[in-house]
Amino acid sequence: MTDTLVPFDDVLAAYDPAMGLEVHVELNTASKMFCGCPTEFGAEPNTQVCPTCLGLPGAMPAVNARAVESAIRIGLALNCRIAEWCRFARKNYFYPDMPKNFQTSQYDEPIAFDGYMDVEVGEETFRVEIERAHMEEDTGKSLHVGGATGRIHGADYSLVDYNRAGIPLIEIVTKPITGMGERAPEIAKAYVAQLRELIVALGVSDARMDQGSIRADVNLSLAPKGTGTLGTRTETKNVNSLRSVERAVKYEMQRHAAVLGDGGSILQETRHWHEDTGITTSGREKSDAEDYRYFPEPDLVPVAPSREWVEELRGTLPENPTVKRARLQSEWGFSDLEMRDTVGAGALGLVEETIAAGAAPQAARKWWLGEMARRANDSGTDIASLGVTPAHVAHVQRLVDEGTLNDKLARQVFDGLLAGEGTPEEIVAARGLAIVSDEGALSAAVDTAIAANPDVADKIREGKVAAAGALIGAVMKEMRGQADAGRVRELILEKLG
Ligand SMILES: [Zn+2]
């Protein structure tokens, strides 16, 4: 079932979008939020569990101090106020992947609140107000077996893995974001990208969207243009790439407008994002907060971080990303446009690491923005999830600098890296990619090309040096691209000069 969509420009002519973003960050603590179970990703199902995270009777939770520390640092980095005293709360609902029948979360007493993040969108800065950042625990994972979609509908049976149950999460909730107009999809993407960057800089999570250690839920509503009201919102869950965040916002805007334009009304519900088809489908009707019957968690003492500790943690914050960007731009000598494109492609951190690994700034930028961005786009993934690392790019560039590869051959090394064929050197060896530096072989290839193209050779002899391009092309073809074009040109001019 495909929804009718209204063209994006028509949506903007009639409506103002409002957005709310909820981002869950899985912390990289060694143990879970309320018990000592390990948190490693990818372990055998149900091997990282204990009576506490399974919710067995009589089990008593205790708060992970490192998780509180990470929560405070995230709050401070988002310019939030830090609560002097706050409690956990039970959020009551039944779901098979939640063994306690309630999630230990925070409700009206979050650890951090009233902050903001200045998001860079194109040439402008857009301030996103943060309502709160609170601590909670993750649920387990259901696996629906049988059926085509992997979803519960049509499945033969379901399995549940509680390894993830109880892993510390920080949920960061924005205030309603308005005044965006056509930039709404772009702002959503830029916000999540910049937030991810900040989380990485803080070192509190691996921040892998593809593994779910950062998950974004996108709330969206439309109001008739100029009325300043908020429409009914839908919440699209677990959008797991930056590109999808942008697409999901745009899709929901176009779908809402179609429903409203037909005189219908938007149902307050959760929606599922489908990465493959780029659409959302209806999930469950969204509960209001009161349906969860929140109450203060009686088994945990309140969290009351001292002001001294908070100030100490403030001293550990990394450089503000906006300030850092300005510094890097001047260090790298990038133009405003180059810097904007780098940030826009979500490649800033990658370029930075590539330069740190030894590549020249322009070379790092060229590979990530020219080559990797295109490949990510072709395969519909994020540039950071491609499987090519900054160390790889720096290594390949070193081979170019040393004269082992030219750019064309380097691209083939990247093909090999993406195909998992090993290290750059292994790929160069296995695919036979190194530049032929044997002068005898080069010279012979140049002679062949001259003999095969006497007209061109005559032109060069007459001083029309521009004609050399045709001969260089012929030699490169003969050498299967594995020659240094500059050296070939020199040889041609020497022979015909
Ligand atoms: Zn446990």
Ligand 1 centre to CA of 39 (Å) is 9
Ligand 1 centre to CA of 303 (Å) is 20
Q: Which pLDDT value is given to residue 211?
A: 82
First vs last C-alpha separation in the chain: 70
Ligand 1 centre to CA of 205 (Å) is 19
Ligand 1 centre to CA of 52 (Å) is 5
Ligand 1 centre to CA of 112 (Å) is 26
CA gyration radius for the chain? 28
280: which 2 tokens? 């959302």
Ligand 1 centre to CA of 168 (Å) is 12
Ligand 1 centre to CA of 32 (Å) is 7
Ligand 1 centre to CA of 384 (Å) is 32
Ligand 1 centre to CA of 59 (Å) is 10
Ligand 1 centre to CA of 163 (Å) is 8
In angstroms, the CA 165 to CA 273 distance is 23
Ligand 1 centre to CA of 41 (Å) is 15
Ligand 1 centre to CA of 304 (Å) is 24
In angstroms, the CA 350 to CA 343 distance is 10
Ligand 1 centre to CA of 104 (Å) is 13
Ligand 1 centre to CA of 167 (Å) is 9
Q: Which of 402, 488, 393 is nearest to 448 (CA)?
A: 488
Q: Which pLDDT value is given to residue 89?
A: 97
Confirm if 181 and 8 have CB atoms less than 8 A apart: no
Confirm if 453 and 470 have CB atoms less than 8 A apart: yes
Ligand 1 centre to CA of 75 (Å) is 26
- The residues, any chain, with a CB within 8 Å of residue 264's CB and separated by 6 or more, are none
Q: Which pLDDT value is given to residue 415?
A: 92
Ligand 1 centre to CA of 80 (Å) is 30
In angstroms, the CA 52 to CA 64 distance is 13
Ligand 1 centre to CA of 291 (Å) is 27
Query: What is the per-residue pLDDT across 59-83, written as a single tens digit (0 to 9) for each?
Result: 999 999 999 999 999 999 999 999 9
Q: Which pLDDT value is given to residue 346?
A: 81
Q: Which of 236, 96, 78 is nearest to 172 (CA)?
A: 78
Mean pLDDT score of the chain: 91
Residue with tokens 């409690």: 87
Ligand 1 centre to CA of 380 (Å) is 37
Ligand 1 centre to CA of 29 (Å) is 13
In angstroms, the CA 110 to CA 83 distance is 7
Ligand 1 centre to CA of 166 (Å) is 7
Ligand 1 centre to CA of 137 (Å) is 11
Residue 218 backbone phi and psi in degrees, to 5: -115, 110
Residues of the chain predicted below pLDDT 50: 1
Ligand 1 centre to CA of 453 (Å) is 76
Residue with tokens 């993407």: 189
Residue with tokens 């959302």: 280
Summary count for the chain: helices (H), strands (E): 17, 14
Q: Which pLDDT value is given to residue 496?
A: 86
